[in-house]
Amino acid sequence: MIKLLLVDDHPLILEGSKQIFGNAPDIIADTLVNVQAFPEVLAETQYDVFLLDINLGASNGLELAEQVRAKYPAAIVILYTGEKAEDYYSLIVEKKIDNVVSKTASKDTILRAVYAAINNEVLLPKNFIDYIQQYKPMKKKLQLNQREKRILKLIREGYTNKAIALELDLAQRTVESNLSQIYMLLNVNTRADAIIKSVELELI
């Protein structure tokens, strides 16, 4: 049996997502709405697949993905997002996650994405090919989308996350999620280091 953990801080969405796996005879799906309990759950139960929401209030799916990779390197990590899936393709290329699936995807697409990952395959839309053709390793030129570049510029200008959210008309936790992704891509841990490295790489 395949043990899968769904993590989302919205109970209704979580239950709806769980129903996707209700008729899958070889998948046991558990849910977690209290993100603060994730480290404890991770320590107590070894799951084969983690389906993680991107925006999780005080935390985010990218941070949880790092925790999973650190403890269970062989576990499958799939991000579950209401944003553009292509914003997270770079994490697949860098092997920091196994896939990213849109919350608007069909039940069949989500199931196939999970089964593909279990079989060491990746189910992706056609526009992933376009991304790969444009992708360049960090040593040459890091690939950032326009929102990430804009966030970096605003950080350099001294904007707080709240101010960035107002400037770009985004939810603050969306900004925080994007910032976490930027940190992962640049391999840094602070805003100051992110600015220094982005300037060195001529990203801003």
pTM assigned to the model? 0.66
| pLDDT tens column, 129-145 | 777 666 655 445 567 88
- E strands, the chain, are 2-7, 27-32, 49-53, 55-56, 59-60, 76-81, 99-102
Sign of CA dihedral 180, 32, 79, 14: negative
What is the token pair recorded at 103?
């919350």
Catalogue all structural domains in the chain, each as residue range(s) with its CATH number.
2-134 (3.40.50.2300), 146-200 (1.10.10.10)
- pLDDT category, 89, cuts 50, 70, 90? confident
| pLDDT tens column, 91-116 | 887 788 899 888 888 888 899 999 99
Chain-centroid distance of CA 95 in Å reads: 12
What is the token pair recorded at 33?
């709405």
Distance separating alpha carbons of residues 5 and 41, to the nearest angstrom: 10
Higher local confidence (pLDDT), 181 or 57? 181
Residue 198 is predicted with a pLDDT of 82
Burial of 138 (0-12, 13-18, 19+ CB in 10 A): middle
- Please state, in angstroms and as integers, the Cα–Cα distance from residue 77 to each residue in 32, 69, 72, following that order: 15, 8, 10
